[in-house]
A = this chain, B = another copy of it.
Amino acid sequence: MTALNKSIEPGDSPDLTEERASGTFDTNAMAAVIYGSDKFAQRRREISEAISKIPELADSAPLPFLDRFGKVTEGSRKLSVILENIDKLIDPSSYEEGLHLYTEVMGMEGHPLALHEVMFIPALIAQASDEQQVKWLGRARRREIIGCYAQTEMGHGSNLRALETTATYSPETQEFILHSPTITSLKWWPGALGKSANWAVVVANLIIRDKNYGPHPFMVQLRDEDSHEPLPGITVGDIGPKMAFNGGDNGFLGFRNYRIPREYLLNRHAKVEADGRYVKPPHAKINHSAMIRVRSHMATGQGALLAHALVIAVRYSAVRRQGYLEDKSREVKVLDYQTQQHRLFPSIARAYAFIFCGFETIRLYDQLLIDVQNGNTSGMADLHALTSGLKSVVTYQTGEGIEQARMACGGHGYSMASYISEIYGVAIGGCTYEGENMVMLLQLGRYLVKSIEMIQNGKSRELGPMVAYLAENESEIDLNLGPNEYLKVFEYAARNQTWRATEKFQKLRNSGMSNEKAWNQASVELTRASRLHTRLYIMSTFINHVGSIVDQKVKGVLIDLLNVHVTYEVMDIGIYVQGLLSSNQMDLIRNQLYVSLETIRPNAVSLVDSFQISDMQLRSVLGRRDGNVYENLFKWAKSSPLNKTDVLPSVTQYLKPMMEKSKL
């Protein structure tokens, strides 16, 4: 009989094989659920297989052994190998296949084209006129130029109104003069800006005859296309090492009265005529959807990062033995400890939940695009608010889960051989970029307050489907009826907290306080409402997605995982449901959680195997598919740079003289 788990191979650690043999579902079938279709799951495996056949695509050394020069060089080197082989590897027209290829080969530490495809080209598509696209889009797509998107400044992130870079129109020469008036106006952080890009879309305040028309996008050449040297008037460089992404060259950029032709204002929406006349864009607020798109994809991306860390921690926990339970003759797998299960299994549930939630959100986004094309923009605000909260909750919980996964690996988790701290650095960046989490939560908060105000004004029926529960009454909870009852508990919590926070804000405002001050004093309570609302949405999409699954074995284990999820999440927000659940009901949920941890235990390894993250992509000695951790940990360490010689020059230069001197 073939095992249902497809990751078993001869020579594997028997501890892992034992786990895999106990799995109750087909891991390929689960992968099809995780990646949206059996076909794409299959393609992923084929692409990974094809990659493994090209030795030049492998890391030339474990990435943690490289300094920044090494990482940046490695990214460029592999990029050239990818481009040489791309037709053999993927269907270049498939975004998903490309993503899988880049993720696997490049890893997560950054590379020179990272922003070219994701930010630069989309910005050209969205903001360049048809004429301008003819001029630049083809060049960008053929990679004749490397571009980036320069908006954030050293002193200015979330608040676009405060950007300082200016683009002053000079009617005499029909040019814009780009200028950075202060240090804080330097562009700061844009990916690939520092060393790689020779062109950029730059956001600057458009000034015509001393009047500021606000931030506009300009196409700007930064470096000579032959020498790659920065052009006169341009100051550009790398912003230095970061918590992660050190293979990437996030950069700074300053202008000293740098002139560009009038035609370089990206003028799909707004234009400046030769005489300096400003032609307004037909619609304001046209550009919300780009943010929604990026944030929708973040749920899936962060879910994948959490999954990545969990593959490592769960496999390692089945190999690592420590301490004794009943059998005193052999140490027990640490995965058998309840504390370990409680650290890891609710995070497995969240990883699945985030990925499913990403699907649903992207579906809503695609629907929105259709609606907008049909002239219906009513859903824009709803989805913008939702994705703001989602981005915030998912990034925070992902970071939390990854760190717990790392700590669950004990001492070796702390070694870069686990690679989990690198994954953490990458994931936790998401709490800050694409909108700082507190700012995001308060954007959703504003939407929730508006929804309550609609209810207060008798307009409950106009509420969107995702906030309709705010107008409902609480109902009796019968926990025996399954996950949907837990959803009601979350609705109660989110509704109660939203009303509480809104009423606090309104009361302060009504007491004569300014709107801004009242908002600020209610803001912590508002962020709590936003988190609960978002977590309700995540749980709801998880439940719905599991309900739609056809394969009964896969569905069975996902229902078990859902039971971990709903019990854990409700316990986690226990303080918000005191008015609803009795202490007996809370005890019941708590016990259910512990039972569900035991239920999922035999499938734990199969659940993480199903993510089908290859060893190449994992880059983790602890997480290897074969579970042969210890001998490879030794190999890894022996090959690390400090071990090239037995005696370090610094010992000869400093420590030996110190010891000699003492002997005199």
Contacts and interface: CB of A to CB of B under 8 A. Distances in A.
Given A240-B417, A243-B414, A630 B183 contact: yes
Interface in A430-488: 431-433, 436-438, 442
Interface stretch (A12-20, A42-50, A74-82): A74-82
Contacts of A538: none
Contacts of A649: 73
A564 interface: no
Contact of A640 (B240, B410, B437): B240
Interface in A548-606: 574-575, 578-579, 583, 594
A147 to B, nearest CB: 11
A243 B230 CA distance: 35
Interface in A23-65: 64-65
A11 to B, nearest CB: 16
Contacts of A436: 407, 410
A524 B339 contact: yes
A111 to B, nearest CB: 10
A249 B243 CA distance: 21
A68 B642 contact: yes
A324 interface: yes
Contact of A516 (B324, B648, B655): B324
Interface stretch (A126-134, A148-156, A350-358): A148-156
A515 to B, nearest CB: 9
A438 B403 contact: no
Contacts of A229: 646-647
Interface in A508-564: 514, 516-517, 520-521, 523-524, 527
A95 interface: no
A195 interface: yes
A76 B642 CA distance: 15
A568 to B, nearest CB: 11
A79 B646 contact: no
Interface residues of A, number: 126
B196 A651 contact: yes
Given A240-B416, A634-B252, A662 B520 contact: no
A338 B634 contact: no
A184 interface: yes
A80 to B, nearest CB: 5
Given A76-B651, A195-B642, A662-B143, A325 B238 contact: no
A499 interface: no
Contacts of A69: 641-642, 648, 650
B442 A339 contact: yes
A325 B65 contact: no
Interface string A98-130: 000000000000001000000000000000000
Contacts of A574: 575
A650 B72 contact: yes
Contact of A642 (B194, B230, B338, B578): B194
Nearest to A342: B524
A76 B437 CA distance: 42
A327 B358 CA distance: 39
Contact of A80 (B237, B437, B640, B658): B658
Given A326-B516, A651-B195, A67 B64 contact: no
A159 B324 CA distance: 9
Interface string A231-246: 0000001111111000
Contacts of A198: 659
Contact of A154 (B72, B83, B433, B630): B630
Given A583-B578, A630-B155, A653-B76, A638 B237 contact: yes
A145 B80 contact: no
A541 to B, nearest CB: 26
Interface in A624-664: 630-631, 633-634, 636-638, 640-643, 646-659, 662-663
A374 interface: no
A646 B230 contact: yes
Interface stretch (A208-216, A362-370, A421-429, A611-619): A421-429
23 contacts: A72-B650, A77-B650, A112-B655, A142-B662, A144-B662, A154-B634, A227-B647, A228-B651, A230-B646, A238-B642, A240-B642, A243-B415, A243-B416, A249-B642, A324-B516, A325-B517, A342-B524, A411-B432, A411-B433, A421-B425, A575-B575, A578-B578, A578-B583
Given A64-B240, A159-B323, A239-B415, 9 more contacts: A69-B650, A80-B654, A112-B651, A146-B655, A146-B659, A154-B630, A237-B643, A343-B438, A414-B429
Interface of A: 64-65, 67-69, 72-73, 75-77, 79-80, 83, 112, 142-146, 152, 154-159, 162, 183-184, 186, 188-189, 194-196, 198, 225, 227-230, 237-243, 249, 252, 321-326, 331, 336-340, 342-343, 399, 403, 407, 410-411, 413-417, 421, 425, 428-429, 431-433, 436-438, 442, 514, 516-517, 520-521, 523-524, 527, 574-575, 578-579, 583, 594, 630-631, 633-634, 636-638, 640-643, 646-659, 662-663
